[in-house]
């Protein structure tokens, strides 16, 4: 029985009503609940080879089909902080041991620290605080740019990611950490659409620049965030496997979302519906 938002309280009293359900279920939510992170394709007789219906995709457990096994993909990282007209972008490609730092400074003041030395200091911190198996790259070759505005900075980042997309031979996941929403960032850096994007929670302190020497502060903050990114990504992949949810669909506050997914799947077995991923008539 399908209900509008104005009728659920009245229909609870109807004897023939088994229970309320939502008619505003987002398509992405339905796909996550029904397909999870691993599925197989069952082609319909006479169907087109390039078209699929959600009913053609069969849910498989991660015991049957491993999800994102080690070595099946490589990762690249985009870290970003911003305060007003000032900002810093850090693009790291571990497979190439390359890093690009772009500072948005309208005054174009030269305030960046020697990046190789700063990275060495962060590595020392990582060795003391992170598991050895998830330590960051031992060495990075830094390219630094100081530009006057965001448009010039995003152009540099765009060129870096376009080059990576044209050269990649292994599936590449882009981990993005930014105070901006993905839609806003993608409108500025269109090359983001070339990669599956996974959002890493940002730290508000990264964008709280001091009045003086803010470039050094911001650069060191982003380097430290990157040093911990591999550990965060490994934990997030493990969470995605456990929840059977595509890693790119996990929100920053994952536990409540995962509980909703588990409940929706349990109710689906009983031919009920639960819309926890969007606006629903039942909370």
* Per-residue pLDDT tens digits for 180-194: 999 999 999 999 999
What tokens does 70 get?
């080690």
73-81: average pLDDT: 96
For the ranges 51-55, 112-116, 147-151, the lowest mean pLDDT is seen at 51-55
Question: What's the pLDDT score for residue 4?
Answer: 37
Angle at 240 between CA 279 and CA 29, to 5 degrees: 20
Question: What's the pLDDT score for residue 55?
Answer: 79
Total residue count of the chain as it appears in this document:
283
Cβ neighbours around 9 below 10 Å, total: 10
Percentage, residues of the chain above pLDDT 70: 83
Question: What's the pLDDT score for residue 20?
Answer: 54
pLDDT band, residue 110 (cuts 50/70/90) = low
Instruction: Please state, rounded to an integer, the average pLDDT across all residues of the chain.
Output: 85
């Amino acid at each position: 029985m399908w209900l509008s938002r104005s009728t659920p309280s009245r229909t609870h009293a109807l004897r023939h009503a088994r229970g309320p359900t939502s008619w505003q279920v987002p398509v992405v939510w339905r796909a996550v609940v029904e397909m999870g992170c691993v599925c197989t394709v069952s082609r319909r007789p006479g169907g087109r080879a390039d078209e699929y219906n959600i009913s053609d995709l069969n849910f498989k457990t991660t015991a049957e089909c491993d999800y994102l096994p080690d070595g099946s993909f490589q990762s690249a990282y985009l870290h970003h902080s911003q305060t007003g007209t000032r900002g810093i972008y850090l693009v790291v490609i571990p497979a190439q041991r390359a890093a690009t730092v772009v500072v948005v400074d309208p005054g174009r003041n030269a305030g960046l620290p020697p990046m190789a030395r700063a990275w060495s200091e962060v590595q020392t911190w990582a060795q003391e605080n992170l598991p050895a198996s998830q330590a960051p790259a031992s060495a990075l070759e830094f390219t630094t740019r100081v530009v006057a505005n965001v448009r010039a900075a995003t152009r540099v980042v765009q060129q870096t990611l376009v080059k990576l997309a044209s050269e990649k031979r292994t599936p590449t996941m882009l981990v993005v950490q930014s105070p901006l929403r993905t839609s806003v960032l993608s409108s500025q850096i269109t090359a983001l659409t070339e990669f599956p994007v996974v959002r890493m929670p940002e730290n508000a302190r990264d964008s709280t620049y001091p009045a003086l020497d803010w470039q050094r502060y911001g650069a060191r903050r982003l380097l430290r965030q990157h040093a911990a990114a591999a550990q965060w990504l490994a934990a997030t992949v493990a969470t995605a496997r456990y929840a059977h949810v595509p890693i790119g669909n996990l929100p920053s506050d994952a536990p409540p979302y995962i509980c909703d997914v588990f409940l929706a799947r349990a109710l689906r077995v009983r031919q009920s519906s639960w819309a926890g991923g969007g606006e629903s008539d039942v909370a």
